[in-house]
Amino acid sequence: MPRGVAIPALRQQLFAAVERLIVEEGPSRLTGRAVTREAGVATGLLYAHFANFDDFLTGFAVDRVFQISGEVAGLPERAGSGTVADNLRQAVLATPLGTLTALTRLTAFRPELSANVEAVLGSGMSGLRGIERAVADYLAAEQSRGRVPAGVDTDALALAVVSVLHHVALTGPIDPTANHRIQRVIGVLTDGFPAAAPS
């Protein structure tokens, strides 16, 4: 890249690069040089935008948490439409699995990032907690409509959904079978939920 040439959306280019590296190689050998090499830019450009590599990783985690939370934010508004299982599937898989995987693997490897994210986005906003909160709110809304049985612990069910995402992200390859596994589990968790409120 010639000197003095502006690179549009450099931050997102760097974030996409670190996401690919985490998914393909894991987070243990991440360096600024590896990220900039993957992004195809000079190493110094990373440090022109971030104070240090930890600051860069925090920026990446904040960006991805914000993105994931935005994807599921409208889930509670779907209450009463479609089916519970389909609404959950569409919401939790709206974010590319590579993004979920990269964020999950990075925060598992560097748990201190959770506090950094919450310092920027607020308490309870690290990792996949935004998904958990949206799912819990959605299930409670459906429960009030009679489409989730009254005895179901909606907070526990939301945690189970997010636990499935964590497990798949941490243990499996990122391929079509991963999405299929998540969809199957959501189907099992919501088996027997009525499509419409009981009359």
pLDDT at 176: 80
Q: Which of 19, 24, 23 is nearest to 35 (CA)?
A: 19
Tokens encoding 35: 């990220």
pLDDT of 199 above 60:
no
DSSP secondary structure string for all residues of 63-128: HHHHHHHHHHTTGGGGTTSS-HHHHHHHHHTSS-HHHHHHHHHHHHH-THHHHHHHHHH-TT-STT
Please give the model's pTM, rounded to 2 decimal places. 0.87
pLDDT higher than threshold 50 for residue 1: no
Judged against a pLDDT cut of 70, whether residue 66 lies above it is answered with: yes
| pLDDT tens-digit readout, 28-41 | 989 999 999 999 99
Query: Which is nearest to 41 in space by CA: 6, 69, 71?
Result: 6
The mean pLDDT of 109-114, rounded to a whole number, is 93
Please report the pLDDT score of residue 197 as a whole number: 64
Q: In order of start, what are the domains of the chain with their CATH numbers?
A: 52-189 (1.10.357)
